[in-house]
Structure 1
Amino acid sequence: MCGLVGQWRLDGEAVNFDALIHAREAMVNRGPDDAGVEQCLNGSMAMAHRRLSIIDLSQSGHQPMKDLANGNLLVFNGEIYNHQELREELVCSGCVFSSSSDTEVILHAYRHWGRSCFSRFIGMFALALFDQHKQELLLARDRFGVKPLFYSRDSQQLSFASRLKPLQLLRGHCQLDSQALGQFYEMGWVCGSDTLIEGVRKVAPGSCLTFRADGHCHVENFWRMPTRLAKATPWTDSSVDELDRLLNDSVRLRLTSDVPVGVFLSGGIDSSLVAALMAEQSSEPVTAFTLGFDHPDYDESRYAKQIARHLGCRYEELVLSPSGLLAEAERVFPLSDEPLTDPAMLPTSIIARLASEQQVKVCLTGDGGDELFLGYRLHQVMERFRRLEQIGPLAARAMAVLARFLPAKRYALIRGFLQQPNFESRYCYLRAMVSGPLGESWQALAQEPFSRTLNSSFGATRAAELDIRSYLPEQLLSKTDLSTMQWSVEAREPLLDHRLAEFSARFAVPDLMGKSPLKHVLQRYLPNELWDRPKQGFNVPVDDWLRGPMFPLLDQLRDEWEDDEWLSRGKICELVDDFLIKGSTKGNFIWALAAFVSWKNNLQQWSSKQAFG
């Protein structure tokens, strides 16, 4: 795991090396073990790198890495889990290796297979590769967007980085994108390849961008969510066997490391399954890290402890103390590339720090199980409504009439849902009620051309695909990357293996709903009484936090808010007063706005010209 940054001066001028090194050192937490810089094209192309050594701890894995056969230059953040199998295949084709690093495998794979090599990788990665012969720069990102990659270009230069801050240090100017800001207010994140910064974009998950010196950019998607089969495969005992094998192999690959590997264990289905498969394959006890809450409605640590004991894990638990939350938030907020609206970033950060203190540099997580195997309640809602619409439009109207007899808030929610014009709008409506600071407009993901790229039709599978394309990379994985890499800990997600996505696409919705396939496998490794309970999710008592130890964030929000075309300071004060005086339960929305204020304040410091609009 690492941090990368680079620049290509399209006007032929030399890259400012001092600025490049300064940008690289802004990512030292992503790679404290080694640093490098390299140039080509008489200095008009330069790359810099910060390394967190996980595989091949020697200097043989130093980056940027150059292919001595053709001069190609590579910087890479992530892990190619199947690099050993690819190495064997490449050696049989005549390739000669000088290290055991997966970085060198990428260079040989590109030389041998070209851009098609990316579809062969099983892993998480964000990389920049300069093809010396073709005079082309390739930016590529893994299928699910586990690792971030930002870029910016104009007529004079093309800059790229793992994080927004080093990119801004190279660009020097900063202007908020008004349309993207509207999306953020609606959803709690920015959709697709856009960012909150005008002129800065993200490489989309599963894509490779090829840039030429004349500024032309070719976009190629090397993977997309598979289209669900019209005739589903029946779910049988052999399906459980196949999924068991796939899960075991996914965990096996992600246990590849030259440093200690642990697991973040919440006690839920996903992390418990990962921990069980790790214990099955490990010769030594697995180290499990769990965070407890002093609030009983949110604490699952007792379940995690029972599971760890059953699996023979070395159990490390930390109970979250409210007294340190404000300091943790003030430390984490400025690190975000874009405002992270999920307050679970704090406990994730704290548990990553615990792993770092125990000298565990790699931890497996349970991220991805809900998205691939329909685990969210939102999936159930969208599927039920799809079935209701199949009955006929009168059924939806009857639902609206019956909803009038429900409590006012529930009626307003259902009425708003039914008034949305299409599926994407309804999905966005429900997601925004959870994540969006405003929760009043839900059109972001319904806009073309984004919705045209979806493969699923309607119902739960389309909602899950929207989750995978938007919520997963922009919220969940961004949170995990930020929270772990600040402590120089690498998080790995065995449930986000594309082979599992392709497996799930073969089956009907009823066979997948509620993560039923994962439960079938889990009961082979853990007794049902240890995990079979209602889904709780990784939630946090954000309302209590903001009314208690984190109250100063509310004052900061009111004092430092600057009016824009979407929200005035008066509206912000009204939201806060409703929360404090009238007891509204909009803590998540207020948290998101507080994160935005902190992020915006720090963004001004990142821009060397201090030109902020």
Structure 2
Amino acid sequence: MSGFCGWIGHSISASENLRLVRQMAGPLSRFDGSHMEPLAGMESALAIAAGDGSRHLYQKDGLIVAICGRPNFLESQLAQLALSQGVAKTLADDWRTRGEKAFSSLAGAFSFCILNEDTDEAVLATDRMGTYPVAFQLSGRALVFGSAADAILMHPLIRPEIAPQSLYNYIYFHMVPGPGTIYREQARLLPGEYLIYRKGRVETRRYWEMRFLEGERRPFQELKEGFLGVLRSSVREAAGDQKVGTFLSGGTDSSTIAGILGEVTGQPARTYSIGFDASGYDEMAYARIAAKHFGTRHQEYYVTPDDIVAAIPQVAAIFDQPFGNSSAIPAFYCARMAKADGLNRMLGGDGGDELFGGNTRYAKQHLFSLYEQIPALLRKAVIEPVVLGIPGGAALPLMRKARSYVEQASIEMPARTETYNLLEHYGARAVFTQEFLETVDPGYPAELLSDIYHQSSAKSLINRMLAFDRKFTLADNDLPKVSKACELAGMDVAYPLISDEIVDFSLQLEPQLKLKGTKLRYFFKEALRGFLPDEIIGKQKHGFGLPFGVWLQHHKPLQALAFDSLNDLKSRHIINTRFIDKLLEQHLGEHAGYHGTMVWVLMMLEQWYRQRQGLI
């Protein structure tokens, strides 16, 4: 994955600046070996590490510009200039002419940095979906920044102090949600944001946000033709001129990309699938259906418990902060398989659910929202006293379901989405030590969820949830999961289903075409009916879920790694030792799949600490 790092507002000497920025850039290319180029001024320096085609640099008259990724310009005149003189110079000239207005003309997957020593200014930005992360920290009047926190920590002005609140957030979310990072005083940009630094002061602003046109009405056939058109152009652009393959889980998104890739390239797509020899987890049958239907050149690999043991330290090392999504492991093995085949780019299917309404919780929240439409007087005076007040009602199956429905439906959004949160289930006081809890605000995750949810101007529930998931599901979770897994395998990755074209198309779809009653992805599936196999359209959502808890019951090396990690974690005085003992000795035996998730989250926290020994 491409990245950059550097600073402004701190001077050593030109030669020392160059040496230091090279050192900072080391973590950016340590796994994929991407080419690194440094540039240095008297009070600033910048290094970019990226593959050919994803590395754009320009330096002239005190101005340094670096762009990572695959940006493009929406204005035709700028697009032509970019072809003739390069993307970085075009952005530099446009910035000199129009200032911050220049950012609205940029599209694609990218991050960029502009440094201007003459005016003591800097700009950092990430793309609309947050595909390319950017973190930063102000130290005195110096701004230190990078695509990964590991690069920022190499600067002598930065002291790596872990933020207790971020540790709490990690256990709550299983990742550290933006704009926070695992380190005190360090932050990162949210999707569609940019940062302006002027003479020691910083301010973040938005250059783009999701604006839903919920009143649009167009004939289905017209929508279908438009959608297939943007789908083809997005896959074609994502593939570029690279040796490309695609993940194939057998779900709607990956199957669509596999089929379209073969169509736009005129040759069978290279597809890669991961299976598990564990009941209820293996989806290989659907991947094979898609591969056969589209005639792909298909490769499969069954991940074993031994593979998990081997990959855990590597996966912990590639992430610059604790990350607890276990699907990073199968994504890594899938990308590694493609790398061994000689490919250099994978296409990920992430984003389709979050643009077109495919997550099962959308249907569930729709059902809960129906309760809100009942007059409040009827709810409070009749329904709730009957459902919640009948003695012994919890013992009756039908009444128990009604009580659960009313209790959950009575919770306001977005708190209602967290009723199954693992940390909430156990209770913070049971999980954390008392001394740790005294250093954090347990209410912060709920406040963050509420803030992001209510930022959207969407009127419909489905669109508010989609805007919400753009951050929490995509930018904070799924995109870093796949991007980092690919980086570990030395593989580039692109996400055609979150191209600007497809995002714009989705924003114009009326809400009921995304979620029709409880029918998920209604338009997406109907538009692709006849193109995708019926079995794929009708299947339940699954993905590359890892049977970690199941394997943990019987595989001794996996047990040893997990138990050893959690026992070492006790000494950090974050997690209550009694909770760890109960989790391992009792809860795992009660429900391995459910409680195995918390074992994974805690294990990966300790593994992350181990990989940074001597650094933090």
Aligned with residue 558 of structure 1, among 536, 556, 566: 566
Give the alignment partner of residue 490 of structure 1, picking from 489, 492, 506: 492
1:24-423 matches, within 5 Å, as 24-29=25-30, 32-40=33-41, 42=42, 44-54=43-53, 65-68=57-60, 70-80=61-71, 82=72, 89-90=77-78, 97-98=84-85, 102-111=87-96, 113-170=98-155, 171-213=157-199, 215-229=200-214, 231-233=215-217, 236-257=220-241, 259-393=242-376, 394-395=378-379, 397=384, 405-406=396-397, 417-418=408-409, 420=411, 422-423=412-413
Deviations 1:310-330 (A, max 9, x none): 323221221212222111112
Residue correspondence of structure 1 range 567-582 to structure 2 within 5 A: 567-582=575-590
- CA shift, 1:418, in A, is 4.9
| Match of residue 519 from structure 1 | 525
Question: Which residue identity does 2:170 align to in structure 1?
Answer: F
* Mapped partners of 1:557, 1:342: distance in 2: 17
1:438-493 CA distances to partner (integer Å, 9 max, x unpaired)? Answer: 69977614346544422234633322222112221111111111101122211111
Unpaired runs of 5+ residues, structure 2, are 432-441
How does the TM-score come out when normalised to structure 2?
A: 0.86
Aligned partner letter, 1:590: V
Closer, same or farther in 2 for the Cα pair 1:436/1:524, shift >3 Å? farther
CA distance in 1, matches of 2:596, 2:89: 47
Please state whether the residue corresponding to 1:454 is helix, strand or coil. Answer: coil
How many residues are aligned here? Answer: 587
In the alignment, is the contact (CA less than 8 A) between 1:264 and 1:271 conserved in 2? Answer: yes
Sort the Cα spacing of 1:290 and 1:243 in 2 relative to 1 into closer, same or farther, 3 A.
same
Task: Judge which range, 403-412 or 172-181, deviates more.
Answer: 403-412
Is the CA contact (8 Å cut-off) linking 2:259 and 2:269 kept in structure 1? no
> In 2, distance between residues paired with 1:123 and 1:434?
38
Please identify, of 71-80 and 561-570, the stretch whose mean Cα deviation from structure 2 is larger.
561-570
Aligned to 1:605, the other structure's residue is in SS state coil
SS at match of 1:453: coil
Q: Report the Cα distance in structure 2 between the residues aligned to 1:382 and 1:329, rounded to whole angstroms.
A: 34
Residue 589 of structure 1 corresponds to 598
CA deviation string 1:317-360 (max 9, x = no partner): 21212222111112211221222211111000111111111121
CA distance in 2, matches of 1:551, 1:136: 52
Distance 1:79 1:426 in 2: 38
Q: Which moved more, 1:462-471 or 1:480-489?
A: 462-471
AA of the residue aligned to 1:429: T
Structure 1 residues 91 and 538: alpha-carbon distance in aligned structure 2, compared to 1, 3 A threshold: closer
Tell me the CA shift for residue 135 of structure 1: 2.8
Following TM superposition, by how much is the alpha carbon of 1:29 offset from its aligned partner in structure 2, in angstroms?
4.1
Aligned to 1:503: 505
Q: In the aligned structure 2, how far is the partner of 1:221 from the partner of 1:406?
A: 49
Question: Are the counterparts in 2 of residues 432 and 442 from structure 1 also a CA contact under 8 Å?
Answer: no
Q: Residues 266-321 of structure 1, C-alpha deviation per residue, up to 9 Å, x if partnerless? A: 11100111111111111332211111222242222232223223323221221212
CA apart distance, 1:370: 0.8
Amino acid at match of 1:538: F
* Distance in 2 separating the partners of 1:493 and 1:25: 26
Partner of 2:612: 603
Alignment check: 8 A CA contact 1:265 1:271 kept? yes
Structure 1, unpaired ranges of 5+: 56-60, 608-613
State the partner residue of 2:434. none
Post-superposition CA distance 1:506-544 (Å, at most 9, x none): 334332121122212322423324543222233221211
Identify if the C-alpha distance between structure 1 residues 260 and 282 changes in structure 2 by more than 3 Å, giving closer, same or farther. same
- CA distance change for structure 1 residues 202 and 307 in 2, over 3 Å: closer, same or farther? same
Deviation string 1:548-592 (CA, Å, 9 cap, x unpaired) is 332123322332124678631222222222233444531112111
User: Counterparts of 2:602 and 2:615 in 1: how far apart (Å)?
Assistant: 20
Quote the Cα distance in structure 2 between the aligned partners of 1:245 and 1:173.
50
* Helix, strand or coil at the partner of 1:561: helix
Counterpart residue type for residue 249 of structure 2 = S
Name the CA distance, whole Å, in 1 between partners of 2:232 and 2:98.
28
1:20 to 2:21 alignment: yes
What secondary structure, in the 3-state scheme, does the structure 2 residue paired with 1:36 have?
Answer: strand
Q: Secondary structure at the match of 2:190?
A: coil
Matched, 1:446 2:432: no
Structure 1 residues 16-49: Cα deviation after superposition (integer angstroms, max 9, x where no partner): 5444322212222465242211112x2x100112
Identity across the alignment (%): 21
Aligned Cα RMSD in Å? 3.2
- How far is the alpha carbon of 1:149 from its aligned partner? 1.3
TM-score, normalization by structure 1: 0.87
**Contact 2:272-2:337 at 8 Å conserved across structures:** yes
Match for residue 610 of structure 1? none
Q: In the alignment, is the contact (CA less than 8 A) between 2:453 and 2:464 conserved in 1? A: no
Letter in structure 2 aligned against 1:474: D
> How far apart are 1:141 and its partner, in Å?
0.3
For residue 429 of structure 1, the aligned residue among 414, 419, 428 is: 419
Q: Is the 8 A contact 1:11 1:156 kept in 2?
A: no
Residue 611 of structure 1 corresponds to none
Matched residue SS, 2:282:
coil
Distance 1:433 1:408, change over 3 A: farther
* Change in 2 beyond 3 A, CA 1:158/1:314: same
In structure 2, give the amino acid aligned to 1:556: D
2:262 alignment partner AA = A
Give the 3-state SS of the residue equivalent to 1:169 in structure 2.
Answer: coil
Aligned AA (1:540): L
Contact 2:293–2:533 (Cα < 8 Å) also in 1:
no
Aligned partners of 1:328, 1:507: CA distance in 2, in Å?
41
Separation (CA, whole Å) in 1 of partners of 2:219 and 2:576: 53
